[in-house]
Structure formats: C-alpha cells, structure tokens
C-alpha cells in the first residue's frame, strides 16, 4: 500500500505544534525516542524528522511528498514549492533589528550598513525592492550577537515574542515578512500520494475550522427569536428547538471565537439567557 512521506521539523516549537495537529486529526504515530522516521498505525503516512532548513531540498528532490514547514523557510529556500494549506500556528516574522541605542528614521538608514542574517535571499529581495545597498554577513546560529561584537550594524532574523532581541539590547525596526506553519507539497508528488495528501488536508481543514469556532447554546423568548437569529452567523442558520416552558426556545449555532465577546454582549442585550459556549473538535462540511 502506498504511503505519503511527510517531513516535520525534528525539534522545537514547530515540531511540537506539528505533532499536536497530527494527533488532533486522529493520526497515531509510532514514535520512538531519537527516531528520524516513524510510521503511523491508522493512516498511510510516514513521518520524517528533519532540520527545518533542509526540508525544502527534500521536497524539491521528491525525497518526501509533503511537509509541515515554516513559511519563512519556503520563502528563503523553496519559492517554487507549492503551499497547500496555511496552518495558522508557529507564527513569527522575519524582521530587521538594530541596537536599542541607535536612532532609526526609516529604511534608508540601512544604506551601506552591515547586516547579519541567516536569510540572505529574503534580505536581498527586500533590499532590492527598497533600492538599498548593504553588505550581508551570512551567519548560521546566534545572529543576535553580531552587533554586540562589532560584526554587523543590524540583523535580520525570525522574531516571535521579541524576548531574544530584548536580551541582546536590540529593537525591531522593520518586518520583512510574516510567517506561519504551512502544509507544502513536493513538485514531484505522485498521483497516489496526492490522493492521500488530499485526505490529510481535508482532516486538517476540519480541525483548523473548529479551532477558530465555538458552539453556542442559549435560551430566548419566542418574541425575540428573530432579532437573536439575525445576530448569530451560524453555519447556514441556527437550530431552534422549543423548550418545555411555553413561549421559550433553545438556539444552537456556531460563532467565530474572535467575535465571541461582541456577539455575547449583543445576544444578552436582546434577551438571550443561559448562554453556553463550547469548544469544537472538528467541523466537517
């Protein structure tokens, strides 16, 4: 039986988030300690644990069929690789940072400066786009130390919380790109593997949609149902069920978690009572 070969980062936050979403879509991975490859018991999948920076080449060569990878790495090393699905986790940005003590007036301040980075292709594109001339120092590792030892005037690196910049007396001044984890496919993926990838993507979409949604149940007097129904976005329309108490009904619907408090406030103002909100595991369309 054919299997889909998928790469994930071997360690770190992206690894943990990737393994969690595979678990959430019901895939059981036989994963022993320090294994570089693992099989799954209930889905035709082989998981390869690789360095994030190596994954684009494995995709281009067809060694793996798909990958969960940082978008920033694809921009840097695999522009020709197709992104199949944005996954919404492991978010970060690729940014310019300079010493806190240095005044920054705008992009032109980077002219003729020394920039240390692990993302030369991304930086060169940014500099060319903004007509900036700068000298790049390619560093693999702790880029943040470069200004402190006099190697560079600025750095370009990934930023999540900004705590690493803060510890190294740096400040973020420009964002080159915003990144998240994505599902990517090899340009050499076969038809059988593509069919498996489609099934995997379907499962991912159901979990991602559920993560952004909440199931809501509430009670309301029948004379206010129309107003309350107009407030609830729902999937198509809310489910309305009569309560044992005459003149009252129960409404069931789905709301976007980011609009939760605004919708709750509006529902209460229009007569909704006993509002119950629950997380959703999957949403299948």
pLDDT at residue 202, rounded to an integer: 96
Instruction: Give pLDDT tens digits for 248-284.
Output: 999 999 988 888 888 899 999 999 999 999 999 888 7
Q: List the structure tokens of 60.
A: 């281009």
Q: Tell me the sheet residues that pair with 256.
A: 213
Find the mean pLDDT for residues 111-119: 96
CB-CB contact of 229 with 38 (8 Å) = no
Residue 237 has pLDDT above 80, yes or no: no
CB-CB contact of 41 with 30 (8 Å) = yes
**Residue 233 binned pLDDT confidence (cut-offs 50, 70, 90):** low
pLDDT at residue 32, rounded to an integer: 57
Average model confidence (pLDDT) for the chain? 92
Find the mean pLDDT for residues 118-133: 95
pLDDT at residue 234, rounded to an integer: 57
For the chain, give the DSSP string. ---EEEEEESSSHHHHHHHHHHHHTT--EE--TT-SEEEESSSSEEEEEE-GGGHHHHHHHTSSSEEEEEHHHHHHH-TTSEEEEE---S-EEEEEEEETTS----GGGGTT-EEEES-HHHHHHHHHHTT---EEEE-SS-GGGTGGGTS-SEEEEEESSSHHHHHTTEEEEEEEEEE-EEEEE-TT--HHHHHHHHHHHHHHHHHHHHHTEEEEEEEEEGGGHHHHHHH---SSS-EEEE-SSTTEEEEEEEEEGGGHHHHHHHHHHTT-EEEEEEE-S----
Residue with tokens 């107009």: 230
**Residue 178 binned pLDDT confidence (cut-offs 50, 70, 90):** very high
Find the mean pLDDT for residues 177-183: 96
Q: List the structure tokens of 227.
A: 């107003």
β pairing state of 45-50 and 114-117: unpaired
Angle between helices 191-211 and 13-24 (to 10 degrees): 90
**Residue 238 binned pLDDT confidence (cut-offs 50, 70, 90):** confident
Domains of the chain: 4-89+180-210 (3.40.190.10), 92-179 (3.40.190.10), 213-279 (3.30.70.120)
Alpha-carbon distances, residue 103 vs 99, 148, 168 (angstroms): 9, 16, 17
**Residue 113 binned pLDDT confidence (cut-offs 50, 70, 90):** very high
pLDDT at residue 249, rounded to an integer: 95
Residue 33 has pLDDT above 70, yes or no: no
Highest mean pLDDT among 34-48, 112-126, 231-245: 112-126
Residue 30 has pLDDT above 80, yes or no: no
pLDDT at residue 215, rounded to an integer: 92
Compute the chain's Rg from CA coordinates.
Answer: 24
Residue with tokens 């003729």: 112
d(CA 5, CA 46): 5
């Amino acid at each position: 039986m054919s299997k889909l070969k998928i790469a994930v980062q071997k360690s770190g936050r992206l690894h943990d988030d990737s393994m969690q979403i595979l678990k959430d879509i019901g895939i059981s991975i036989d994963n022993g300690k320090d294994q570089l490859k693992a099989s799954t018991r209930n889905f035709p999948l082989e998981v390869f644990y690789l360095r994030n920076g190596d994954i684009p080449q494995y995709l281009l060569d067809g060694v793996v069929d798909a990958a969960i990878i940082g978008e920033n790495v694809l921009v840097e090393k695999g522009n020709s690789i197709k992104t199949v699905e944005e996954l919404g986790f492991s978010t970060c940005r690729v940014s310019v940072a300079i010493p806190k003590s240095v005044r920054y007036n705008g992009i032109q301040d980077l002219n003729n400066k020394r920039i240390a980075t692990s993302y030369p292709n991304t930086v060169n594109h940014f500099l060319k786009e903004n007509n900036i001339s700068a000298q790049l120092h390619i560093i693999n590792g702790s880029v943040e130390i470069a200004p402190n030892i006099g190697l560079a005037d600025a750095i370009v690196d990934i930023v999540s919380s900004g705590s690493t910049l803060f510890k190294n007396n740096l400040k973020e001044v420009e964002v080159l790109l915003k990144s998240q984890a994505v599902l990517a496919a090899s340009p050499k993926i076969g038809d059988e593997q593509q069919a498996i990838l489609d099934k995997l993507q379907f499962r991912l979409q159901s979990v991602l949609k559920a993560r952004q949604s909440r199931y809501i149940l509430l009670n309301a007097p029948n004379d206010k149902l129309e107003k309350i129904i107009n407030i609830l976005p729902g999937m198509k329309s809310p489910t309305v069920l009569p309560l044992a108490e005459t003149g009252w009904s129960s409404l069931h619907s789905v709301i976007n978690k980011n609009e939760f408090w605004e919708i709750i406030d509006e529902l209460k103002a229009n007569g909704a009572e006993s509002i119950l909100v629950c997380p959703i595991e999957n949403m299948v369309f």
